[in-house]
Amino acid sequence: MTDDPCLLSAAEAGRRIAARRLSPVAYVEALLARIAAVEDRVHAYITVLAEPALAAARRAEAEIAAGRWRGPLHGVPFAVKDNYFTAGVRTTAGSRLMLETVPDSTAHIVTRLEAAGAILLGKLNTWEYGTGNGGIYFDLPFEPARNPWDLARFTGGSSTGAGASVAAGIAPFALGSDTGGSIRLPAAACGLAGLKATYGRVSRAGVLPNCWSLDVTGALCWTAEDSALVLNAIAGHDPADPGSAAEPVPDYRAGLHGGVAGLTIGRVAAEGVTTGIDAAAAVLERLGARLVEASLPAPLADYRRAASLINWSESLSIHEQDFRERASLMGQALRDKMTSGSLVRAADYLAAQRLRRQLARGMDAVFGGCDLLLLPGAFGVAPRLDDAAGTMAFTRESAMNVANLSGHPAMSVLTGFDAAGLPLNAQLMGRYFDEATVLRAAAALEAATPHRARRPAL
């Protein structure tokens, strides 16, 4: 076990804090020192909240010393994608249009984490308004985040800084948002655990919207246990989010280490892509899961077309005033998306939504014979940042938006490394509101492989 607090998982840090073996103040100081040492190369943060974080750490330390321990995240820092509103703290959404925006309220799940004793460390880099930039990323106001496994490489998007910060050890966990894979793509590129919960499981209130019917908020973490801890803190109904589901929330840690013996897992092949799925399937089978062949109800191209039409249309409906009045301040990718949205007919949008319902029903039928699906996530390792075609392909040619369209929970998991030491990935996908089984399988994979012990050599 490492002695460097920056390289602890959030769960292990929380255990040490609770046992008085790690001071929250010393923990925050160590993270701030590491940010100062590596941030000029990683570019994960837009805003670092050094003094507020230290003040919160001192409060946490005093509370714990007085016996007022709030739970396993008490004293554990975190950072958030800069599309999360934070009262009194600039929220830019990675855009020139919002460089001076200082909200007067805070996103619901940030307040939930702070109520659990977690400490907000800063705001993280992102694509503009959560819109993919790929190879035309460099026209935004902030330097692009870089992949800690190879600083010349892409982090995945749009939660770019969230992926980079956790992999670099400058945030124990980070909040992102996922419209078409924007939690799971950075997790895949940066070798993390990235969970997109069931649509409606986690509130989006106080997060700049991208696409009403696809957006999901959640965390990028180092381990499945961290993911379970954070989901315990943020899941639940929120009346302020019209899409929020009033479903009971279990304790996600309770059965986390129950293993996969007896589970039936459908292995989904996609266009010849494996990217570590074979290795993951072999481990799961060795651990007692029953692996069966499974198929998606339609080609991936159908998911991509439907997701694009829905995303373009809804994003324009949200940001049309900005597009009409201040398009010159937008980056090219956001302008292109707004233009695409303006060309979509109502009939096409409705057809895409009808197709989406058909695809979701088809996924329900697949789960009739499986507890989980094992399927591709990103179709390769992180490309170089200067490879415009590669970054665009990494973003668009994946199986991530399958779960966005259907609403099922899905998680990107680390399945190993290629010959160059870059992370490989796969997705685990579960039934509606059964994040617990997804997390249990992810935890079993982690426990049976050595991959989580490996860190980028920054």
Query: How far is CA 80 from its chain centroid?
Result: 10
CB-based contact 284:444 (threshold 8 Å): yes
Q: Based on the residue annotation, tell me whether 81 is a catalytic residue of this protein.
A: yes
H/E segment holding residue 268 = strand 264-268
**3-class DSSP assignment, residue 429:** strand
The Cβ-side half-sphere exposure at 250, using a 13 Å CA radius, reads 12
Residue carrying structure tokens 């308004």: 129
CB-based contact 218:263 (threshold 8 Å): no
Please give the Cα distance from 107 to 242 (Å, whole number): 15
Q: Give me the catalytic one of 9, 23, 95, 158.
A: 158
Handedness of CA 213, 440, 222, 89 (dihedral sign): positive
Handedness of CA 187, 107, 229, 210 (dihedral sign): negative
Q: Based on the residue annotation, tell me whether 182 is a catalytic residue of this protein.
A: yes
The one-character DSSP state at 415 is E
Longest dimension (CA), the chain: 62
Q: Give me the catalytic one of 9, 95, 159, 182.
A: 182
- Tell me the chain's radius of gyration from C-alpha atoms: 20
* Residue 360: both structure tokens together: 């979701």
Antiparallel, parallel or unpaired: β 173-178 and 216-221: antiparallel
Closest CA to 119 of 185, 177, 51: 51
Q: Based on the residue annotation, tell me whether 158 is a catalytic residue of this protein.
A: yes
Which string of b and e fits 367-379 if b means at least 16 CB within 10 Å? beebbbbbbbbbb
Amino acid at 447: A
Q: Give me the catalytic one of 9, 81, 177, 406.
A: 81
Query: How far is CA 439 from its chain centroid?
Result: 14
- Sequential DSSP letters for 55-111: HHHHHHHHHHHTT----TTTT-EEEEETTB-BTTB---TTSGGGTT---SS--HHHH
Residues forming the active site: 81, 158, 182
